[in-house]
Amino acid sequence: MENINIKINGLDVCAPAGSTILDAAHIAGIKIPTLCFLKEINEIGACRMCIVEVKGARNLVAACVHPITEGMEVLTNTPVLIDSRKRTLELLLSNHDKKCLSCVRSGQCELQELCQELGVEDENYFAGVSPEYELDDSAPHMIRDNNKCILCRRCTAVCEKVQSVGVIGPNNRGFTTFIGSPFDMGLGNTSCVACGQCITACPTGALYEKDFTDDVLAAIADKSKHVIVQPAPSVRAALGEEFGYPMGTDVEGKMASALRRIGFDRVFDTDFSADLTIMEEAHEFLDRVQNGGVLPLMTSCSPGWIKYCEHYYPDQLEHLSSCKSPQQMFGAISKTYYAQKMGLDPEDIVCVSVMPCTAKKFEIDRDDQNAAGVPDVDISITTRELARLIRKLGIDFRSLPDERFDDPLGESTGAGVIFGATGGVMEAALRTAVETLTGEELANVEFQEIRGTQGIKEAVYNVAGMNVKVAVASGLSNARNIMDKIRNGEADYHFVEIMCCPGGCVNGGGQPQVHADVRNYEDIKAARAKALYDNDKAKSIRKSHENPSIRKLYEEFLGEPGSEKAHHILHTSYVKRSIN
């Protein structure tokens, strides 16, 4: 690609054509502060933090969107600019609920950090009236506190562009502008899919999940309850970030250790039920292929995707696998098989899940998710909530020993752990389905064609003389692309994996928030996914059907995959919803 030479603060900088001033400055190691900018998602130049001087330009320009041109001379740190940025921050603060001490984002807030970096001395410098907004707590998974919103519109851009949902946007105008649902109807009344991507995009404490950590502690304190926990695959790939580990560090052992110290009676693993999901889903796939069922079969692990399909493609629900998600399968098994084995009343088991996801909070309350007559899962918390819990209990995460999960619901294979990366469920399913169809052992269990963080991946595999066409999509705008093709009869896939969040669960709405200035130039998805693929590679068993605990579960309890009992416990149904 052609390169362009410019000068930033007198330094020669060479950057590819098409770069913005911000990109070029990044290459040169010069940080220009940003607030509203999210690369390729929210490029609107609205916050005016990144303004810079360009020689010869009539006005100051927004570095985040202004393209570089040959010979351009840019100044990023003149006294005028530093002062303007400070004033802009002070203006934002004049209309901001500054209860930082009790704010969920305190210490991790991008606004707070900028104020410190730019030396804002008086947060009340431009004090004036500030409207008071009621919290929007109508959705099952999250809260919007517009008193802390700085109107950067990162959430609306993510919702509309990345997820093609678009249920939030600016209402009113000028000083009374606020972000919310159409006609301020409340997020819970819209066709929000509960993905939580808005939360991970938010620079401040305006958006956060509904916190259930106190419920977890109350359950643990209740001696009559047997409290068990299941962390999802992706949690181990991101939890470390909350405790200063580099992005992509696998902290599985420390996580198990921390969960035990929190006081759970048993520390199990959702990877186990991921393996179980493969058993059922691979069976369902083969059944559909062999018996002329509806194709393509589409995965159902991601509750945000399921809700999206129910709202936006209610005519396509028959493609969805009837398998419950790994979270729900785990809960269902814990309250049937495990309860029976332990001689426990399902009523006395509290099943807690730790998820990279906010839609899981919605999923636990869905209908047809109560195999034992009680909810399969009782409490679902996010990775962020787990980190909060660890801090609250004074657990020194970094000095914890590595520990293992408990039996019998803690044993998993490499297939289960890669569920967290886009393409992982498909790869795990193929490992089992191919071996089942051919009756031969796979020479190579790694399906590289469907790895990687691209939004849509397609591949064709020849299995026992049959060409199996698969597609993998993550991020709902990519899902929309696939679904439109399917709806219009333009797709001939056999099996499709869809994950609600871009990159899959590793980048879920419940994962640690990454500051925009990091996120804009580092691939979070790839780094976290690598942790999972490395975990898989290190495992001696890498195929779900070879998991000894899973084999035992079928032998002792379920019978065959797809058996009537398995159907009763591990499968569910869907409903048609409207678009609001």
Partner 1 sequence: MKRIENRETLAQVRGNSNKQIEQSRCRVLICAGTGCLAGGSGDIYDRMCELVKENPDIEVCFEAEAAHRDGEIGIKKSGCHGFCEMGPLMRVEPQGILYTKVQLEDCDEIFHKTIEKGEIVRHLLFKQGDVEYPKQEDIPFYKKQTRHVLKNCGQIDAENIKEYLSAGGYQALEKVLFEMKPAEVIQEITKSNLRGRGGGGFQTGYKWSQVARQREKKRYVVCNGDEGDPGAFMDRSIMEGDPHKMIEGMMIAACAVGADEGYIYVRAEYPLAIARLKLAIAQAEECGLLGSNILGTDFSFCLHINRGAGAFVCGEGSALTASIEGNRGMPRVKPPRTVEQGLFGKPTVLNNVETFANVPLIITEGAQWFRNIGPENSPGTKAFALTGSVKHTGLIEVPMGTTLREVIYDIGGGIKGDGKFKAVQIGGPSGGCLISPHLDVSLDFDSLKKMGAMIGSGGLVVMDDKTCMVEVARFFMNFTQNESCGKCVPCREGTKRMLEILERIVAGNGEPEDLDLLEELALTITETALCGLGKSAALPVMSTLKLFRDEYEEHVMDKKCASHTCTALQKYMIAPALCKGCSKCARNCPVNAISGKIKEPYVIDTTTCIKCGACESACAFGAIYMEG
What distance in Å separates the CA atoms of residue 257 and residue 315, rounded to the nearest whole number? 45
Interaction residues for partner 1, span 344-383 (CB under 8 A): none
Question: Residue 82 interacts with partner 1 (CB under 8 A)?
Answer: no
Question: Residue 1 interacts with partner 1 (CB under 8 A)?
Answer: no
Q: Looking at 129, 292, 367, 373, which residue binds partner 1 (CB under 8 A)?
A: 129
Interaction residues for partner 1, span 249-278 (CB under 8 A): none
Nearer to partner 1, 60 or 471 (CB): 60
Q: Looking at 10, 119, 128, 244, which residue binds partner 1 (CB under 8 A)?
A: 128
Question: Residue 7 interacts with partner 1 (CB under 8 A)?
Answer: no
Q: Looking at 7, 9, 27, 65, which residue binds partner 1 (CB under 8 A)?
A: 65
The token pair at 365 is 């309350």
Nearer to partner 1, 84 or 164 (CB): 84
Strand boundaries in 368-465, DSSP class E: 379-382, 456-463
Q: Looking at 9, 77, 84, 316, which residue binds partner 1 (CB under 8 A)?
A: 84
Nearer to partner 1, 87 or 567 (CB): 87
Instruction: Report the nearest approach of partner 1 to the CB of residue 476 (Å).
Output: 21
Q: Looking at 9, 27, 39, 67, which residue binds partner 1 (CB under 8 A)?
A: 67
Stretch that binds partner 1, among 44-52, 216-224, 227-235, 253-261 (CB under 8 A): 44-52
What distance in Å separates the CA atoms of residue 82 and residue 63, rounded to the nearest whole number? 14
Q: Which residue has the tokens 């010979």?
A: 71
Q: Looking at 8, 15, 25, 62, which residue binds partner 1 (CB under 8 A)?
A: 62
Instruction: Report the nearest approach of partner 1 to the CB of residue 55 (Å).
Output: 16
What distance in Å separates the CA atoms of residue 340 and residue 343, rounded to the nearest whole number? 5
Strand partners, 53: 75
Nearer to partner 1, 174 or 246 (CB): 174
**Residue 22 vs residues 12, 26, 236, 247, 301: alpha-carbon distances, Å:** 15, 6, 33, 23, 38
Question: Residue 92 interacts with partner 1 (CB under 8 A)?
Answer: yes
* Half-sphere exposure at residue 506, Cβ-oriented, CA atoms within 13 angstroms: 32
Question: Residue 94 interacts with partner 1 (CB under 8 A)?
Answer: yes
DSSP state of 60: -
Stretch that binds partner 1, among 6-14, 25-33, 126-134, 227-235 (CB under 8 A): 126-134
Count CB-CB contacts under 10 A for residue 374: 16
Query: Which alpha helices (H) appear in 291-382, and where do they start and end?
Result: 303-312, 326-333, 339-342, 359-363
Q: Looking at 88, 147, 204, 432, which residue binds partner 1 (CB under 8 A)?
A: 88
Inter-residue contact 192 to 362 (CB < 8 Å): no
What is the pairing mode between strands 51-54 and 73-75?
antiparallel
Question: Residue 51 interacts with partner 1 (CB under 8 A)?
Answer: yes
Stretch that binds partner 1, among 122-130, 491-499, 520-528, 541-549 (CB under 8 A): 122-130
Question: Residue 48 interacts with partner 1 (CB under 8 A)?
Answer: yes
Question: Residue 80 interacts with partner 1 (CB under 8 A)?
Answer: yes
Strand partners, 298: 320, 496
> CA nearest 284: which of 433, 411, 413, 405?
433
> CA nearest 199: which of 156, 151, 241, 238?
156
Residues 6+ apart with CB under 8 A from 371: 331, 332, 335, 336, 568, 569, 570
What is the pairing mode between strands 61-62 and 51-54?
antiparallel
What x/- string results for residues 156 through 195 when contact with partner 1 is judged by CB under 8 A?
A: -------------xx-xxxxxx------------------
Nearer to partner 1, 146 or 322 (CB): 146
The token pair at 239 is 């939890």
Q: Looking at 46, 185, 220, 459, which residue binds partner 1 (CB under 8 A)?
A: 46
Packed helices 110-117 and 79-94: angle between N→C axes, nearest 10 degrees = 140
Nearer to partner 1, 12 or 132 (CB): 132
Question: Residue 44 interacts with partner 1 (CB under 8 A)?
Answer: yes
The token pair at 346 is 């399902």
Contact positions vs partner 1 (CB under 8 A): 44-48, 51, 59-60, 62, 65-67, 80, 84, 87-88, 91-92, 94-95, 126, 128-129, 150-151, 169-170, 172-177
